[in-house]
Chain A
Amino acid sequence: MANIVCSHIDKAYGAITVIKDFNLEIADHEFVVFLGPSGCGKSTLLRMIAGLEEISGGEVSIAGRTVNDLEPRDRGVAMVFQNYALYPHMTIYDNIAFGLKRMKVEKAEIDNRVRAVAGTLGLEPYLARKPTELSGGQQQRVAIARAMIKTPRVFLFDEPLSNLDAKLRNHMRVEIARLHQSLKTTTIYVTHDQLEAMTLADRIVLMKGGAIEQAGTPTEIYQRPRTLFVAGFIGTPNMNFLDVTARNDGEAWLLEGDGLRFRVGRERFDIREGQALTLGVRPSSLSISGNAEGRENILSGLIDLVEFHGDNALVSFRVGGVEIGALVPASNRPKTGMTVAFSVPAESLHAFDRATGLSVLRDRP
């Protein structure tokens, strides 16, 4: 087990820089998820830590040792690939044992460990089979077994669940979470799926364009997104955004836009008179309220779409040309064509400077 330190990591392919000055410390036992849209550099970063990709600049250290010039085998890492990357010409048993054979572990010892790991992951019945005879979920379990058996200092997962169907993905996610609970191995997990990130991570590192957009616990990232990008990326359904301008009204800030006005206490936002802001409202913060006449902190409009989700329904309407979504209890959902007013509690509002995209939320006292 080990901590990982990335300091000033750069990665360039020729003239194209994909990662610029990346800094991150990962504590021992920590489960860190690199989250971001495709092309944000998260997989490249993982591969640099694994030793599969050269590090153009900066330093990666694992357990206090600089590993920049070490082969993957000397870094004490094990990796699970998106497409499983099992050895197709070997049996499941040999797939799992392959790494140990290289380490010149004794045959009897290999056998014990393979059977133990296969037992943990429910793979005993398949040990004599070839990878192609297994389902996607089973193959992924073999890939995890192959990583586990080496008792690595660090686990690296590269979008391990994205080739599985939705049901299996949920199941495997839980298995990975359990595995980490029992093994406690330092883990880096790359995904573009925010649900995986939120449920698995001790800490999420949200990346965009090769740089960290925000790093923090799932709660921090959800409740206090640092930038407009983070706010838009995290949370399903997506956060609603409205353009507003700030106006000072004595004790409170008035945020006014096209046909809307919000009153927010001065302690929530750090803003100045006339600042152009983007207001962020999560669909789940909206709740149906009586009528809209002359009231503040209200979003109202003509419902043009109602999506039934089961317990909830996503209601869409337009405010000043912007599509707004509201998540309401399905039992109480309005019908298409109705005009409905939704109240928005001031303490659920987010606001971002329109020029910089940075949140203007004040630090908690």
Chain B
Amino acid sequence: MRRAWKIYRLLAAQNLKRLMEYKVDFLTGAVSFLIDQAVGIAFIFIIFTQIPQLSGFTFEQIVFIYGFSQIPKGIDHLLTDNLWCVGYFIVRQGGFDKYMTRPINPLFHVIAETFQVDAIGELVVGIALICYSAGSAGLYVTPLSVILTIVAVPFAALIYTSIKIATSAIAFWIKSSGFIIQMVYGMNEFAKYPTTIYSVPVRVFVTFMIPFALTGYYPVVYLLTGENPLLNTGIVVSVSIVFFILSLLIWNRGLSAYESAGA
């Protein structure tokens, strides 16, 4: 474990040094990400000036869900961004050979190689929105509700990671799965709003099939309503563990299907 942490720090540091090597590119990326986030926030503010209440939730409560949903997303984005590259080109171009010939777990190696600083934008925005709305959202604050919400955060992030692991691993069979990751990942839009606004089939889908609802709404519903504390957090924790195990099984089968490339 200590060795893993050491290697993680080292590989992540290499990535940061690489960013510094191309300063202009790095700064452009950071600025464009900030603009992107600003547009996103402006968009929900505009929408909510027109719709004061949604499915029994007030504007502040919806902003709270939105803000919270950005945090697991940001954590996953910060830590595992390189999985996109596995889906888009690392497997297709045979670059995965490198990971197979090193004495560390290939999945860990891939993930450790990138520390995506862009994600700090999501985290900052998420925390800002939570701070902005927490006071007026009428939260049901008890030690238990706060602890359960915090406990749910890493598990919610793990749902993102599991979905990315599973969809990027598809590339081991079909060579390129970038657009599949993009399509499935894109459904995280559902996480930004209370799940109760969707029809039943959609609700089931985003809770159990592609469970992004578990990364936004479920972890905070207890804080918002004071109902079903253990059920809501329990679903998040257990579904997240199940999905993580499944994604590792898919990944490991993918490794033995890996075909490398040419030459």
Q: Do A and B bind each other?
A: no
| Residues of chain B having any CB pair with chain A under 8 Å | none
| Residues of chain A having any CB pair with chain B under 8 Å | none
